[in-house]
């Protein structure tokens, strides 16, 4: 028996803002069996040497990691080197990156002693107890480990069928340790779909935590200070009744909170008018939805066994955005079987025209255990041999195509997803006339030719670059583009320090008119009622007036050449778009 055994769980997240749900599940499960486990938080951006030192000074007897595509390299490096420093340490790995091909991973990494395949909440405490008592592990399911003369791999896979048997990870210690971070929340496990590119395809069906537990945990998390709660359920609205009850609960309990947000991954084609009616009741920004569209090519969807009604997806995606109540993220995946550049650009255009608040362009990853990886030769896949196993080319896409898509992804992320250049981008895409995909591709090529990828380019500089790019095309109305760029800048930047490359004029007479406007109580009541207690001078410091030569408030982007004055209120933002509130005023 190992006396006073010290167990350490190290979470290695991809960013500081992320929290590790898996590590705290395991700690809670061990504690329920009277086994103490310490959780040590870190990220892959931390100094790996410092992480090693932090593990070493704790002198654990047992060291455990949850392994994902984003941290497996760092984890294996730590295993190798901590074993050199502490030769008697027992190292356990778990998580999706080691749950498949477990024996191969064990054989290639001599420092690793045990691998838990699948869900570990039941298995982990049993293994810790067996290590402590130095007893046989053969009766413990879903394990792969070293024996005296070789290796043993259980044929079973860890699945907890009754999720309420798992102790809650949301302790005061967990929430305090993750204060200010995104809190991940799990109301179900599994997915009703069996898409070949996803690990959820390795499980059948969806398992649910009890509704009472979900509600109690949500209240606890919010009460202890969580600001963003991200549901990790693969398809939150797979069960409409269940999803509606959770949304109704959130609306009832948290609708008056101004600084909290709930994020859900949803299937848009599973929405209906009743769910939309419920969403309409939500205050702006309380919830956001992530819609995994992936592609609009039905043949491609059929190839990867994804059951989706594309017509319905696009319809309800558009309806969700038009409610003005929710921030909508939409995802495409480049590199799916049978989808060439023409097909992908068509999918991009069909999604882009719906104007989701975020458009994520990802690249297929051939994950261990996924169906697409098992059949990679069928579609001629060449992919990276190390995590994240990203596609390099296949029968439908060359690597040159992938490079073009990478360029588009970069530009979409810098320009569209920043939400800083909304009207300017709409205008430029309209005037260039070849569609959104072609615009981002061409702007990216121009950006690359200027060597801008070789240095840092600020969001502020991009306003000037968009103007310069427009000036290179004689079809673009540069005066209007200049004004749109100023509008976009003032809508999101409260400094009033307009980039000098953007041309504008101001004068003392206009400034005097602005003060006169703010001195009129009726104007304050109408536009700025929350600032009634402040003097005109104080209000002036919190707003910005600008005289435009065009009417720019039309959301249809049809701009009339007429002088207008806009008031930007820098004390209030739209909770969905993140832009400052803007008012058309008359002097």
Residues 352, 357, 359, 360, Cα dihedral to 10°: -170
Contact call for residues 546 and 490 (beta carbons, < 8 A): yes
Query: How remote is the C-alpha of 242 from its chain's centroid?
Result: 23
d(CA 531, CA 585): 17
Q: Which residues contact 126 (CB under 8 A, 6 or more apart)?
A: 140
> How large is the greatest C-alpha to C-alpha distance in the chain, in angstroms?
90
Beta bridge partners of 10: 40, 65
Residues 388, 389, 393, 395, Cα dihedral to 10°: -130
Q: Give the SS3 label for residue 102.
A: helix
Given this model, what pLDDT does residue 151 score? 94
Given this model, what pLDDT does residue 204 score? 63
Q: What is the mean pLDDT of the chain?
A: 93
d(CA 431, CA 556): 14
Q: Residue 399: left if φ>0, alpha if ψ -120 to 50, beta else—which one?
A: alpha
Given this model, what pLDDT does residue 557 score? 64
Cα-flanking dihedrals φ and ψ of residue 493, to 5°? -115, 120
Q: Do domains 7-153 and 182-364 have the same CATH topology?
A: no
How much is the pTM?
0.91
Cα separations in angstroms, 192 against 88, 188, 205, 304, 367: 44, 11, 5, 14, 19
Intervals of the chain under pLDDT 50:
none
Residues 292, 296, 301, 302, Cα dihedral to 10°: 150
**Which is nearest to 92 in space by CA: 84, 101, 78?**
78
**Which residue pairs, CB below 8 angstroms and at least 24 apart, start in 129-134?**
129/33, 129/35, 131/2, 131/5, 131/61, 131/62, 131/90, 132/1, 132/2, 132/5, 132/35, 133/1, 134/1, 134/2
d(CA 260, CA 250): 11
**Which is nearest to 486 in space by CA: 415, 567, 546?**
546
DSSP 170-190: --HHHHHHTTTSPEEE-SEEE
**Which is nearest to 465 in space by CA: 441, 480, 481, 487?**
481
Q: Give the SS3 label for residue 519.
A: helix
Domain ranges of the chain: 7-153, 182-364, 418-502, 505-585
Given this model, what pLDDT does residue 331 score? 96
Class in CATH terms, 182-364? alpha beta
d(CA 187, CA 452): 44
pLDDT in tens, 100-114: 999 999 999 999 999
d(CA 310, CA 433): 26
pLDDT in tens, 379-396: 999 999 999 999 999 999
Strand 358-363 with 327-334, pairing = parallel
Query: How remote is the C-alpha of 89 from its chain's centroid?
Result: 36
pLDDT in tens, 490-500: 999 999 999 99
Is residue 573 exposed (0-12), middle (13-18) or buried (19+ Cβ within 10 Å)?
Answer: middle
Q: Which residues contact 401 (CB under 8 A, 6 or more apart)?
A: 340, 341, 393
Residue 470 in tokens: 């427009």
Q: For the domain made up of 7-153, give the CATH fold.
A: Rossmann fold (3.40.50)
């Amino acid at each position: 028996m190992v006396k006073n055994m010290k167990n350490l769980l190290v979470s290695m997240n991809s960013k500081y803002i992320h929290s590790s749900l898996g590590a705290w599940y395991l700690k809670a499960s061990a504690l329920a069996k009277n086994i103490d486990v310490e959780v040590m938080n870190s990220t892959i951006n931390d100094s790996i040497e410092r992480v090693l030192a932090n593990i070493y000074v704790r002198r654990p007897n047992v060291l455990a990691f949850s392994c994902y595509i984003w941290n497996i390299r760092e984890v294996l490096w730590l295993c190798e080197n901590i074993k050199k420093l502490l030769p008697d340490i027992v190292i356990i790995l778990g998580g999706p990156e080691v749950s498949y091909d477990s024996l191969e991973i064990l054989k290639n990494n001599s420092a690793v002693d045990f691998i838990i395949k699948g869900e570990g909440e039941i298995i982990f405490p049993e293994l810790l107890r067996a290590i402590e008592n130095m007893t046989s592990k053969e009766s413990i399911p879903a394990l792969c480990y070293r024996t005296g003369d070789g290796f043993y791999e259980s044929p079973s896979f860890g699945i907890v069928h009754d999720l309420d048997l798992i102790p809650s990870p949301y302790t005061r210690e967990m929430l305090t340790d993750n204060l200010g971070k995104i809190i991940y929340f799990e109301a179900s496990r599994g997915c009703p779909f069996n898409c070949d590119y996803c690990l959820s395809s390795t499980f059948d069906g969806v398992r649910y935590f009890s509704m009472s537990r979900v509600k109690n945990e949500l209240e606890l998390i919010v009460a202890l200070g969580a600001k963003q709660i991200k549901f990790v359920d693969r398809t939150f609205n797979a069960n409409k009744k269940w999803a509606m009850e959770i949304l109704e609960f959130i609306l009832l309990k948290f609708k008056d909170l101004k600084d909290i947000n709930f994020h859900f991954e949803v299937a848009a084609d599973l929405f209906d008018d009743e769910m939309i009616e419920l969403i309409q009741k939500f205050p702006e920004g309380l919830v956001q939805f992530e819609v995994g569209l992936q592609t609009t090519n039905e043949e491609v969807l059929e190839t990867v066994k994804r059951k989706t009604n594309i017509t319905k997806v696009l319809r309800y995606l558009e309806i969700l955005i038009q409610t003005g109540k929710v921030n909508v993220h939409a995802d495409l995946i480049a590199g799916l079987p049978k989808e060439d550049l023409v097909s992908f650009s068509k999918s991009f255009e069909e999604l882009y025209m719906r104007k989701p608040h975020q458009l994520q362009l990802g690249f297929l990853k051939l994950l261990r255990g996924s169906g697409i990886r098992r059949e990679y030769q069928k579609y001629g896949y060449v992919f990276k041999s190390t995590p994240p196993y990203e596609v390099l080319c296949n029968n439908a896409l060359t690597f040159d195509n992938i490079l073009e898509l990478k360029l588009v992804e970069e530009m979409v992320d810098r320009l569209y997803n920043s939400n800083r250049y909304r009207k300017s981008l709409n205008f430029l895409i309209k005037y260039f006339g070849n569609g959104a995909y072609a615009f981002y591709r061409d702007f990216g090529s121009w950006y690359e030719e200027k060597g801008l990828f070789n240095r840092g380019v600020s969001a502020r500089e991009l306003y000037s670059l968009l103007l310069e790019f427009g000036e290179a095309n004689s079809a673009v109305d540069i005066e209007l583009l200049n004004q749109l760029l100023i509008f976009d800048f003032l809508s999101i930047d409260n400094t009033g320090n307009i980039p000098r490359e953007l041309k504008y004029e101001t004068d003392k007479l206009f400034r005097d008119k602005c003060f006169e406007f703010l001195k009129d109580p009726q104007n304050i009541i109408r536009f700025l009622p929350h600032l009634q207690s402040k003097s005109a001078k104080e209000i002036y410091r919190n707003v910005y007036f600008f005289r435009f030569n065009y009417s720019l408030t039309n959301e249809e982007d049809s701009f009339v050449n007429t002088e207008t004055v806009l008031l930007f209120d820098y004390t209030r933002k739209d909770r969905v778009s993140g832009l400052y509130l803007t008012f058309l005023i008359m002097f």
